[in-house]
Amino acid sequence: MSETQSEPPVWSPLDFQREHLLNNLVLVVSLLFWLRILLYAVIQDAPRAKYGAVFLAGGILVYVIKELHDLDGAKRLERVGLWLCGLVGVAVPSYVWLNYEVLETTRVGYALDHEYLIGGLFALVILYLTYRAFGAAFAAVMILAVLYAHYGNLITGLLGHGGIGVEQIINVLTMEFDGFFGSITQVVAVKVALFLLYAGLMRGYGAFELIMRLSFQTAKYLRSGVAQSAVTSSLIVGSINGAQTANAAMTGSFTIPLMKESGMRSESAGGIEAVASSGGQIMPPVMGAAAFVMASLIPGIGYVDVLVAGIIPALVFYISVAVGVHYMAIKQLPDSGIDIESRIGDIPEGYHPAIEAIRFGVPFAVLLYTLGIAQWTVLTSALYTCVAMIATGAGVPLILSLVRSDVGFAETGWEALTNTVSGFKFGAVSIAPIVIIIAAVNGIVDLLNATGLPGKLSLAMVSVAGGVLLFTVILAMAVCLVLGLGMPTVAAYTIVALLIAPTLTGEFGIDPLAAHFFVLYAAILSGITPPIAIAVVVTTGIAESNFWKTALEALKLGLPLFILPFTFVYNPEIVTDGFSLATAGSGLVVLLGAIAITHGLNCAPRPFGIPSPIGYGARAVYVALGIFAMVWPTLMPRLGAVVVALVLMALQTVVPREATVDTVAQGD
């Protein structure tokens, strides 16, 4: 490489001026975007389908302008292309908005010539922006879906169909209120969007820094506390932000360097953060926004039902991960810790735990009360939560400035305003790519529904599996891992819920809630499953580690999580019986089984006082007992497996240390 090529690009004054203008434009468009969403939440002035069109236009515009802001000034052709995408991305939804009554009631099943033209351009824009935001893999899925819909008449056998014309494909995707403007886009617009604003406001007011600070405090009291900080912070942050990649980037930028500095290998640090970030998406009450979509897809199931059902599996997930992280950390971290205070910085002036608890605890309490107790609508609950977040996030510092002589009211007010605006901007930038991929997923699903593929896929899966439930769910798990493709949680869950869940409920009579939790967990795990493993890609970049070694560490830590979805099928009481004794007992057995698997895979020098490591044969026994305890459909044999595993662990504590070392030499 020449010296000229290795030098960074030279920025002219015009480049800096353009960047400044685009940054301000992102801010203005973000504020207008949220203003429209808040207006709809207050007065609900349009049918949901019509509102979905303007919501999609806003998301596209925010994304395009943010990409223009981040783009190298020398890429003029790409810049022109993005401006054209922004123009088409706003113009076509605006056309749909203005002609809503005609398109929805009169002109159904066909479109005018110019509508086919602008609809085709809009489909190309969605395809390109999806490729830009989420890579070639998912863009290829979109293309394959269109090709399958058009050329289905050339396919023989069960998956063949009569074929759909190009004009009809465009009509389904763009000019009818299915496709890109369909039901899932509408659910995200109405039920999910304001939770991303809530997450943005939390970040603007410093909540995520507070979460990281509190997480790091565990390092003072637990040897593996540095690594546990990744688990704790990802648990809280990931539940709200709706995308495992964003979670991995946000928390990983703090936790991964900290783990590496404390003595952990780069691959282990990246693997821990990837698994923890993926798991944040299944923690109630928000569950990465998938909870609201699940409630809308399952007849007779409300949000509170999903919330209650998700608590015990999420606890199993995180406790088993925390145990695995302890095992991994104890093998690598030195006895002497690192200076945590120097890593997390000085405590901000005026900081007090009680004050921070009020600022961020009150809005969360509002969320829990309005959704879980008062059972208001999701839209209203989210609106009140955002209002409470602004009131406490900006209001508490202002009140403190009035009673403290060392802090100016005007200065505090300006800072509160800046933080609020920053929160609005961050929320818009976070939701924009999710809006785009949700539109793409909605288009794919509705197009495939028009071909009859979900029913055919169900028959094909049952046929390939020979009608055996075990083989069917294994095949379904594999399909979910592939279809997940590292997408945001709500998008990944939507596509597998509509394509795979009907097979489990229709052919085998599995409870709908259990079937949907199965596909949700399976789709999320695609984020740590090679070769795509998008969460691992992000953490590998931060950790500067080898991708495959990092993915192996993530799989070793997350193996119990790949077994957990099968628990929902064979022991559905864990998600269907509410807070019953059967649910608690089954959940405890599942947790102990997961810990047995973790113990077998990640034995460390005397974790929890147990001498180890142990030979491969003994490890296999622990793994087998753990899988049996998690999946076997009757309780007593599962209890027996747990008892055997606990007895074996107890025996390890009395085996002479020399014998353990001999076992290691023979087994390893």
Q: Which residues contact 407 (CB under 8 A, 6 or more apart)?
A: 350, 400, 401
Q: How many CA atoms lie within 13 A of 89 on its CB side?
A: 28
Radius of gyration of the chain (CA): 26
Contact criterion met (CB below 8 Å) for 229 and 272: no
Percentage, residues of the chain above pLDDT 90: 33
Average pLDDT over residues 493-512: 88
pLDDT on residue 4: 40
- Is pLDDT of 181 > 90? yes
Q: How far apart are CA 275 and CA 526, in angstroms?
A: 11
CA distances from 413 to 350, 358, 399, 418 (A): 15, 18, 10, 9
* pLDDT beyond 60 at 317: yes
* pTM (global) more than 0.75: yes
**311 and 587 Cβ atoms separated by less than 8 Å:** no
At 272, the amino acid letter reads: I
Lowest mean pLDDT among 158-162, 385-389, 499-503, 656-660: 656-660
Q: Crossing angle, helix 76-98 and helix 113-134, to 10 degrees?
A: 130
Whether residue 263 contacts residue 332, with contact meaning beta carbons closer than 8 Å, is answered with: yes
Q: 498 in the Ramachandran plot: left (φ > 0), alpha (ψ -120 to 50) or beta?
A: alpha
Paired tokens of 25: 């434009």
The rounded distance, in Å, linking the Cα atoms of 611 and 13 is 65
The length of the chain, given as a count of residues: 668
Q: What is the pLDDT of residue 91?
A: 96
The tens digit of pLDDT for each residue in 382-428 reads 899 999 999 999 998 888 888 876 667 888 889 999 999 999 999 99
CA distance 93 to 103: 12
Contact 119, 111 (CB under 8 A): yes
- Return mean pLDDT, the chain: 83
Question: pLDDT tens digit string along 81-110?
Answer: 999 999 999 999 999 999 999 988 888 888
606 vs 239 pLDDT, higher one: 239
Q: pLDDT band at 244, cuts 50/70/90? A: confident
Q: Is residue 244 within 8 Å of 535, Cβ to Cβ? A: yes
pLDDT at 342: 53
Name the residue type at position 556. K
Contact predicate 519/480, CB 8 Å: yes
Exposure on the CB side of residue 464, measured as CA atoms within 13 A: 15
- Report the Cα 286 to chain-centroid distance in Å: 11
For residue range 32-74, what is the model confidence (pLDDT) as tens digits? 999 999 999 999 989 999 999 999 999 999 999 999 988 876 6
Nearest to 119 by CA among 173, 81, 184: 173
- Residue 546 in contact with residue 540, Cβ under 8 Å? yes
Q: At what angle do helices 512-524 and 303-332 cross, to 10 degrees?
A: 40
CA distance 94 to 107: 17
What would the pLDDT profile of 6-34 be if each residue is shown by its tens digit?
A: 444 455 566 667 778 888 999 999 999 99
pLDDT at 613 over 70: no
Dihedral Cα 93, 97, 102, 104, nearest 10 deg: 80
Cβ atoms 210, 354 nearer than 8 A: no
Write the Ramachandran bin of 488: left for phi over 0, alpha for psi from -120 to 50, otherwise beta: beta
CA distance 351 to 280: 27
The pLDDT of 362-374, averaged and rounded, is: 86
Over 90: is that where the pLDDT of 347 sits?
no
**Tens-digit pLDDT profile for residues 258-285:** 888 778 889 998 999 888 888 777 887 7
* 458 contacts 502 by C-beta, under 8 angstroms: yes
Q: Which residue has the tokens 């008892």?
A: 643
pLDDT in tens, 282-296: 887 767 677 878 888
Residues 310 and 291: their CA atoms lie apart, in Å, by 9
Give the pLDDT confidence score for residue 667 in this predicted structure: 45
Instruction: Report the C-alpha gap between 212 and 583 in whole angstroms.
Output: 32
Mean pLDDT for the stretch of residues 156-163: 86
Residue 324 has pLDDT above 80, yes or no: yes
> Are 478 and 505 spatial neighbours (Cβ–Cβ below 8 Å)?
no
pLDDT in tens, 199-242: 889 889 988 777 777 766 666 667 677 778 777 777 777 666 65
What distance in Å separates the CA atoms of residue 243 and residue 433, rounded to the nearest whole number?
10
Give the per-residue pLDDT at 240. Answer: 66
According to the model, what pLDDT value does residue 337 have? 52
Sign of CA dihedral 467, 528, 242, 307: positive
Could you list the beta-strand ranges (E) of 347-416.
Answer: none
Amino acid at 647: V
pLDDT class for 659, splitting at 50, 70, 90?
very low
